[in-house]
Structure 1
Amino acid sequence: MKTIILVGGGHSHLHCLKKRIKHLDDNVKWVLISPSRYQYYSGMFSGYTEGIYSLEETRIDLERLCENAECEFVERTVLSIDPDQQHLLTDKGDIFTYDFVSFDIGSRNDSLKIEGLHERNLPIKPNYRFPEQIEKLHNSRKTVFIGGGAASIEMALSLQAWKVDNGFKDHLVTVVHSSPLLEKAGSHSSKKITGLTLSKGVELHQGRVEKVDETRVYADDGTSIDYDEVIFLGGPKAPPLFGSSILPTDEKGFLLVNSYLQSVEYPNVFGTGDCATLKDFPDIPKNGVTAVRQGPVLWKNLNGAAANGTIIPFEPQERYLAIMSVGDKRGFLTYGSFSLVSGWAWRLKNWIDVRFVRRYGG
């Protein structure tokens, strides 16, 4: 009997578990290893922060999903992998042996390049940390977000909306960004989201953060900003797992995979989502859209590899629809260089997000 181990409860692995419910195969043993029984859906982070969703509405019960899929669930954190011996070591000292292993463990919101940040940053990834950290943001009188991308702006606007709704108008929410907001969406969208963010009362400071101490964030222009909580959302950072292994990675430490989602040197090791970089398409965004689209390919390839059968390549799409919540149940929709702000955009996002969680949690 072949053993397939899924490490992490990310989007691609959720798809595999759901497919297995309808396609059980007694010739393959499936195991899911995750540090928490619950997988919190990142698409609803902003809505939970704003107070729109309850905690239960944002999470998927991995143990129950595994039970339905006849997949063994192990609540552990994988600390290291030996791809030659095909062993995984967990934080409890367990050693698991696999025929095929797949990693969908997400990324870190941290940066070792900023002096002092690691010791003071509020980590919401891995996402099982998310609920307790949002409570700290709600209580913070002065919050600084580092980063000018969608994740930082969305969380800042959602937190600001919660502050206003709950009477904390004296609390300050600041975003420090080294490049224009949503720069990759084009200048028109960047100007639009900048104006919207300022109109909501979020303070913006363009500069590169160089240092963080116990009370202040220091930018490269000499400015310093007081904070109670500081959170880095300046782009995904590689999880430490691959850096401590002999698995090939890209220059940033993400698992390097080919178009079949396999490690470029170990074909029985797969990687999807934020934790992996496609060798032939290194600039594909590390976001939920990519991870969701990789799910069906991963399912096909894990089963194909286990049966010595056919595997298929993942084909990235050049453009994709993205919607971020900007507070007060309004969404900022982008598609290529096109963008708009509307209530129906948020309703569409809400429909997509609620449907996603119900698909895997029901």
Structure 2
Amino acid sequence: MGKRLVLAGGGHVHMSAMKGLEQFTRVGHEVILVSPDEYHYYSGMGPGLLGGMYRAEDVRFHVARMVQDRGGQFVRGAVERIEPDSRRVVLKDGQDLSYDVLSLNVGSRVPLNFPGAEDADNLFAVKPIQELVAARQKILEFIHKGIPLQVLVVGGGPAGLECAGNILGLAEEHGGPVVVSVVAGSRFMGRFPSRIRRLALDNLSRRGARILEGVRLDRFNTNQAVLSDGSRIAFHVGILAVGVSMPEVLADSGLDCGPGGGVLVNEHLQSVSHAEIFGGGDCIDFQPSPLDKVGVYAVRENPVLTHNLLAALDRRPLQTFDPGTPDYLLLFNLGDGTAILSKHGFSLRHGLAMKLKDYIDRKFMREFQVSGEV
């Protein structure tokens, strides 16, 4: 007799399962995808979407159609509560779904926990990626009116770098005056080797960006950011590219969670406290070794998670996930036709690096963009 698999979230790590859904349905299993939106946007191309390199259609997957075309069900909604002891997922609209196996790919979010942030209509977070579409439109409105634009980017990591570079690129393409201020925290790109940091600083500074180190965002007033040293920055558009946090539903569910707040999973991507629950991507903490919150691990998890979900339904042995080398390829889109590339301690900024990033991203999109996204 077939069993029910619930996929919570239509993100990167569920792509193989959704594309190969027929291997579940043809043996009688019922598959339900729960997602707040019928589309999933690929975060690796988000900065390029902000800068105008890509259209929305280029960077999204029609996950609802992907599942429905292969015999599954799509339920629009967000997970409000997980009840692992009774094997139920409760959605925010009150829908109640039972499961035999549950897979979590609910991602992470950029917290709007700065005082005044929720009341501002000119602040946009880098996640969900759809926010960058609205941010781009807002920036273009100012540029087309000829208003000298002040843009605030909060965050001194890769997301802050790529967003700042692509905002500058957007203004450079459309001929609009813009000042981009990056509130970088203690040190801009501080967790990366000095060569990467220098390439990033040189590029943004040469293009007129202000990089503010040693200060953090404290709160927002109307169209104004107040920093930890008491200084203030007026802005027309603000981008929040600070560190991500886990959805509260994970900790509230009673599942064992790791130090990063994600569901703690073993070498099979299986919850250490509830064997019928699996997960991948940003919303897990991998018990064997910490993993960076980067897309490369979600891509690597894809086939193993798909195999193990089917194996769990059929009571077959599970595969072990090997994260691979932590020295993965780094590519940062600077919004000026170049990218920073780093691998094995070698780093450079070049147009060919951007072409390589574009090729890799588009190849991933072609593999899973199978359901009428464009």
1:4-41: per-residue Cα shift (whole Å, max 9, x none)? 11111111101211233467532321111111111111
Question: Corresponding residue for 1:151?
Answer: 159
TM alignment of 1:1-362, pairs within 5 A: 1-21=2-22, 24-110=25-111, 112=113, 114-120=114-120, 121-139=123-141, 141-169=149-177, 171-206=178-213, 207-282=215-290, 284-316=291-323, 317-362=325-370
Paired residues of 1:185 and 1:337 also in contact (CA < 8 A): no
- 1:273 is displaced (CA, Å) by 0.6
Matching residue's letter, 1:325? N
SS in 2 for 1:125: coil
Paired residues of 2:10 and 2:63 also in contact (CA < 8 A): yes
Aligned counterparts of 2:158 and 2:22: Cα–Cα separation in 1: 34
SS in 2 for 1:45: helix
SS in 1 for 2:273: coil
Aligned counterparts of 2:351 and 2:96: Cα–Cα separation in 1: 50
Q: TM-score, normalised by structure 1?
A: 0.93
Aligned counterparts of 1:213 and 1:254: Cα–Cα separation in 2: 32
1:250-293: per-residue Cα shift (whole Å, max 9, x none)? 344322222211222111111211111112323x1111111111
Identity %: 30
Return 308-317 or 298-307, whichever deviates more.
308-317
Paired residues of 2:32 and 2:74 also in contact (CA < 8 A): yes
Unaligned runs of 5+ in 1: none
Paired residues of 1:39 and 1:128 also in contact (CA < 8 A): no
- 1:115 is displaced (CA, Å) by 3.7
Task: Name the Cα RMSD after superposition.
Answer: 1.9
Paired residues of 2:199 and 2:340 also in contact (CA < 8 A): no
- 1:118 is displaced (CA, Å) by 4.9
- 1:323 is displaced (CA, Å) by 0.9
SS in 2 for 1:324: strand
- 1:315 is displaced (CA, Å) by 1.8
Aligned counterparts of 2:23 and 2:315: Cα–Cα separation in 1: 21
Matching residue's letter, 2:179? L
SS in 2 for 1:280: coil
Matching residue's letter, 2:127? K
Matching residue's letter, 1:184? R
Aligned counterparts of 1:52 and 1:22: Cα–Cα separation in 2: 36
Matching residue's letter, 2:21? R
Paired residues of 1:124 and 1:133 also in contact (CA < 8 A): no
Matching residue's letter, 1:193? A
Matching residue's letter, 2:8? V
Q: 1:259 to 1:62 in 2, by over 3 A?
A: same
Return 121-130 or 311-320, whichever deviates more.
121-130
Aligned counterparts of 1:152 and 1:336: Cα–Cα separation in 2: 24
SS in 1 for 2:191: helix
- 1:218 is displaced (CA, Å) by 2.3
Aligned counterparts of 2:242 and 2:264: Cα–Cα separation in 1: 21
Paired residues of 1:148 and 1:177 also in contact (CA < 8 A): yes
Paired residues of 2:196 and 2:340 also in contact (CA < 8 A): no
Paired residues of 2:261 and 2:285 also in contact (CA < 8 A): no
Paired residues of 2:259 and 2:285 also in contact (CA < 8 A): no
Return 9-18 or 236-245, whichever deviates more.
236-245
Return 215-224 or 11-20, whichever deviates more.
215-224
Aligned counterparts of 1:270 and 1:126: Cα–Cα separation in 2: 23
How many residues matched? 359
SS in 2 for 1:66: helix
- 1:76 is displaced (CA, Å) by 1.4
Paired residues of 2:87 and 2:100 also in contact (CA < 8 A): yes
SS in 2 for 1:260: coil
Matching residue's letter, 1:281? S
Paired residues of 1:185 and 1:336 also in contact (CA < 8 A): no
Paired residues of 2:188 and 2:211 also in contact (CA < 8 A): no
Aligned counterparts of 2:155 and 2:238: Cα–Cα separation in 1: 11
Unaligned runs of 5+ in 2: 143-148
Paired residues of 1:172 and 1:202 also in contact (CA < 8 A): yes
Paired residues of 2:24 and 2:30 also in contact (CA < 8 A): no
SS in 2 for 1:358: helix
- 1:52 is displaced (CA, Å) by 1.6
1:122-175: per-residue Cα shift (whole Å, max 9, x none)? 234233444334323444632211111111110110011001211212x22111
Aligned counterparts of 2:182 and 2:258: Cα–Cα separation in 1: 29
Aligned counterparts of 2:54 and 2:33: Cα–Cα separation in 1: 27
